[in-house]
């Protein structure tokens, strides 16, 4: 694993994962080699599903075809898509499968700095992309999601946590975000 990729994995765990309740139902789209699954399983999250177009994913297929893959609407507390949404137009599908109040956690290059990512790949500091970045976008605000937390990292990539509106008694496992920290709460 390239050094910068390894470092960024540790930072992603700190930023995104540590606040997720252990009983949250998590779907990782674009799970690749399964590094996040290994971390989650080793640290007590047992309700994880990985989806990718190739094994070793739990579900092998394309997120755009989620209904034919046996995924039901409003069924996940958290959807994780690290370095994925720049490859396929899929935000509406994430919205459909998240519970009301559920969280979408994404990373992707800033459109105007993707050329820097290509250089980092070429010199072996980061993983090589698996397909072209045809869906690059700025994602500080992704409607109809609510922006919970958004950061630009190193002037090159975007990290965001977004909430599907709603919640109440049935959605999001009672997740609440305060200053970027995910806390459990009981809906009123």
Render pLDDT for 77-116 as a digit per residue (tens, 0 to 9). 999 999 999 989 999 999 999 999 999 999 999 999 989 8
Whole-model pTM: value is: 0.85
Q: Where are the alpha helices (DSSP H) in 13-158?
A: 35-42, 91-97, 114-122
Q: What is the CATH number of the domain that holds 129?
A: 3.40.50.150
Query: Does some domain include residue 187?
Result: no
Domain span at 115: 3-182
pLDDT surpassing 60 at residue 188? no
Distance of alpha carbon 31 from alpha carbon 60, whole angstroms: 10
111-162 pLDDT tens trace: 999 898 889 889 988 878 788 888 889 999 998 999 999 999 999 999 999 9
Query: Does some domain include residue 177?
Result: yes
The token pair that represents 12 in the structure block: 């992603």
Run of H or E including 70:
none
Q: Which is nearest to 52 in space by CA: 63, 42, 44?
A: 63
Look at residue 168 in the predicted model and tell me its pLDDT.
55
Query: Does some domain include residue 65?
Result: yes
The token pair that represents 122 in the structure block: 């070429």
Query: Does some domain include residue 94?
Result: yes
How many structural domains compose the chain?
Answer: 1
Q: Which residues pair with 182 in a beta bridge?
A: 177
Please report which confidence band the pLDDT of residue 75 belongs to, taking 50, 70 and 90 as the band edges.
very high
Query: Does some domain include residue 188?
Result: no
| Average pLDDT over every residue of 17-39 | 95
Asked if residues 164 and 101 have their Cβ atoms less than 8 Å apart, the reply is yes
């Amino acid at each position: 694993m390239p050094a910068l990729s390894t470092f960024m994995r540790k930072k992603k765990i700190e930023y995104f994962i540590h606040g997720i309740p252990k009983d949250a139902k998590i779907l990782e789209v674009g799970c690749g080699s399964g590094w996040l699954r290994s971390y989650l399983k080793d640290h007590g999250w047992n309700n994880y599903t990985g989806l990718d177009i190739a094994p070793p994913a739990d579900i092998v297929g394309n997120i755009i075809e989620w209904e034919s893959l046996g995924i039901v609407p409003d069924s996940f507390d958290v959807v994780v898509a690290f370095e994925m949404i720049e490859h396929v137009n899929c935000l509406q599908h994430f919205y459909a499968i998240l519970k009301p109040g559920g969280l979408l956690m994404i990373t992707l290059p800033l459109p105007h700095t993707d050329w820097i990512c290509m250089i980092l790949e070429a010199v072996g500091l980061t993983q090589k992309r698996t397909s072209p970045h045809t869906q690059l976008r700025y994602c500080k605000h992704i409607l109809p999601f609510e922006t919970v937390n958004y950061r630009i990292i190193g002037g090159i990539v975007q990290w965001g946590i977004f909430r599907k509106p709603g919640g109440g008694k049935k959605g999001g496992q009672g997740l609440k975000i305060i200053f970027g920290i995910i806390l459990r709460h009981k809906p009123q």
